[in-house]
Structure 1
Amino acid sequence: MNTVLLLAGMASVTYVLRVGFWFGAGDSLPVWFKRALRYVPVAVLTAIIVPAVLLKDGAFDLDIHNARLVGALATGLIVWRFNHLLAGIGGGLLVFVLWRWLSPLLTAWM
């Protein structure tokens, strides 16, 4: 029951905030606050992606066998170099899959 109340509360707060912006409440916000709102998506995505890439079972996983880290680095490099998000996602996914497939072979070879 507590979970249902929590979800209903979060949904209502989100709904009220979004409806408020539709009806002009966003026009009265200070300029510095509007500028700060532009950084929210980057901060939220960083908060989601960094732990998923760097942590495994609650500890840092900075090993050469961490395919998520290698895929994320490849994605960042592709997007930075070519400025194309879809190419970065596809290239990072390809590197991730290949790294997971080749990682056991690298361990046996070393």
Structure 2
Amino acid sequence: MSDAVIWTIIFAAGLGTFALRLSFIQAVGRRGMPEWLRRPLRYVPAAVLSALVVPGILLGGEAPFDPARVTAGVVAALVAWRTRGTIYVLAAGMGTLWLLTAVLR
């Protein structure tokens, strides 16, 4: 493919993405969202975060099931449940992962 074709595809994809987002903002922006649609949208961030994090924990190691990653994920989940503090969750999860990786390898 030539450079012109690649740039045309990139520009078209960007324009299409912009058009989709703008159409939603234009359609809903002035009227507001109905409650029946707003209620399930509250769960989208948690679902997206789970979809990104869980495969990384379960499938992200050298083996299909890496006990260090799973243990660090459980520790991070428990700290998140108890403290609800992002810094604490990151410190506990990464600290556990680093410690277990150093001990188990």
Partner Cα distance (1:7, 1:91) in 2: 42
Task: Kindly state the Cα deviation for residue 87 of structure 1 after the two structures are TM-superposed.
Answer: 0.6
Give the superposed CA RMSD.
3.0
Which residue of structure 2 lines up, in the alignment, with residue 16 of structure 1? 19
2:28 to 25, 30, 44: 25
Q: Which runs of 5+ in 1 are unaligned?
A: 105-110
Deviations 1:45-97 (A, max 9, x none): 1111111111258x841xxx522211111111111112212111111111110
Which residue of structure 2 lines up, in the alignment, with residue 91 of structure 1? 92
Q: Which runs of 5+ in 2 are unaligned?
A: none
Partner Cα distance (1:99, 1:3) in 2: 45
Distance 1:55 1:82, change over 3 A: same
Task: Kindly state the Cα deviation for residue 21 of structure 1 after the two structures are TM-superposed.
Answer: 5.3
Which residue of structure 1 lines up, in the alignment, with residue 52 of structure 2? 48
1:68 maps onto 2:46 in alignment: no
Partner Cα distance (2:54, 2:97) in 1: 16
Partner Cα distance (2:100, 2:64) in 1: 19
Distance 1:56 1:21, change over 3 A: closer
Task: Kindly state the Cα deviation for residue 36 of structure 1 after the two structures are TM-superposed.
Answer: 1.6
Say how many residue pairs are matched. Answer: 99
